[in-house]
Amino acid sequence: MTAVLPDTALRIDGVSRFFGTGAAQVQALDNVSLDVRSGEFLCLLGASGCGKSTLLGLIAGLDAPSTGTVDTAGRRTGMMFQDSALLPWLTAGGNVEVPLRLRGIRRAERRARVDELLSMVRLAGMADRRPHELSGGMRQRVSLARAFAQEADILCMDEPFGALDAMTRDLLHDELERIWRQTGVTVIFVTHDVREAVRLGDRIVLLSSRPGRVAEVFDVDIDRPRRIDSTQVAELATRVTTRLREEVGRHGH
């Protein structure tokens, strides 16, 4: 194994993951190897059940590989899910504050940080609202602010905008891209939406159907900011979709 370069945020080396034992055993991932650059926006794409969430969980340190290694060289990882999973008894501000509390940040600093984070997702003045008083898009903005409150070096996002309407999703793509550029965080973004991957990613890693293997890696050489409905995005999305169809077809799904 070669040394991890300083600008490598994450090295996944020969990772397989099995669940269960005996006849009921399922192989979710098969010998996945991948280096992710520091500050890169990497999209993981693949058919349902190909192991995207499993791989993300391994990167986030929520799970351990059966074989192989995931090396984040001590970098802090954070997580954001599709469901905003806000705590209903806390306000928007209270939710964003949770990771700050967990990290032992003092009250006055927490307050200031919460205001900053809510402004960053354009929810200044909404700190006292409760989740049920917010729209789905606003809840996901709070969730985004909470994700950034983790101050992770590597942010793992599991279809964070999957449940939103197209308009809201478009806006949140813009916000996420802006914040990603401002903070320099490394993002690992799971999606099954090809256009979303092309809209956001520096690279797209296409996983094969179960067990997930790296089927192909696409570089997205399109200037930012991108528009999801631009011709360039559509053209690359068509190429990626064709490849994705081949992968799905190969496994008879």
| Site of interaction with ligand ATP (CB under 6 A) | 19-20, 26, 28, 46, 48-54, 192, 210
Q: Which amino acid is at 179?
A: I
Look at residues 81, 39, 41 and name the one whose alpha carbon lies nearest to residue 204. 41
Q: Is the peptide bond before 160 cis (omega within 30 degrees of 0)?
A: no
Residue with Cβ nearer ligand ATP (48 or 238): 48
- Three-state DSSP class for 16? strand
Give least dist CB 242 to ligand ATP, A: 19
Residue with Cβ nearer ligand ATP (113 or 210): 210
Tokens of 88: 């209903």
How far is 233 from 221, CA to CA, in rounded Å?
10
How far is 92 from 109, CA to CA, in rounded Å?
17
Give least dist CB 84 to ligand ATP, A: 17
How far is 66 from 231, CA to CA, in rounded Å?
42
Give least dist CB 50 to ligand ATP, A: 4
Give least dist CB 224 to ligand ATP, A: 26
